[in-house]
């Protein structure tokens, strides 16, 4: 799964870093994807947190690509 934050949309609510701190950090007023976070997102719990962060980002600035289909 590839995770990215569109900085032109992000307004710095920091919710992504709060929900999925393994993958997102809050830097210079923006949510950023931590280096190496693609590997961290291989963990199912982390992946779930990332998905939730993306869904709940108030700016819809988080894009997930290559994610597996939802189970069930
Ligand atoms: S949740 Fe969205 S708006 Fe808030 S810091 Fe993260 S990317 Fe930016």
Confidence at residue 1, expressed as pLDDT on a 0 to 100 scale: 81
Question: pLDDT band at 15, cuts 50/70/90?
Answer: very high
Confidence at residue 10, expressed as pLDDT on a 0 to 100 scale: 98
Say yes or no: CB of residue 54 within 6 Å of ligand 1. Answer: no
Contact by Cβ (8 Å): 12, 29: yes
**Average of per-residue pLDDT across 4-17:** 97
Quick: pLDDT tens for 30-71.
999 999 886 666 789 999 999 999 999 999 999 998 756 555
- Core vs surface per residue 4-18: b (16+ CB within 10 A) or e: ebeeeebeeeebbbe
The total number of residues shown for the chain amounts to 72
SS3 38: helix
Confidence at residue 37, expressed as pLDDT on a 0 to 100 scale: 83
Q: Spelled out in words, what is the top-level CATH class assigned to the domain 2-65?
A: alpha beta
Find the 59 Cα to ligand 1 centroid distance in Å: 6
Residue located nearest, by CA, to atom 8 of ligand 1: 10
């Amino acid at each position: 799964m590839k995770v990215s934050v569109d900085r032109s949309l992000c307004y710095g609510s920091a919710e992504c870093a709060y929900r999925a701190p393994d993958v997102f950090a809050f830097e210079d007023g923006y949510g950023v994807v931590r280096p190496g976070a693609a590997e961290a997102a291989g963990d199912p719990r982390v992946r779930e947190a990332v998905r939730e962060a993306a869904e709940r980002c108030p700016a819809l600035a988080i894009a997930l690509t290559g994610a597996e289909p939802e189970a069930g």
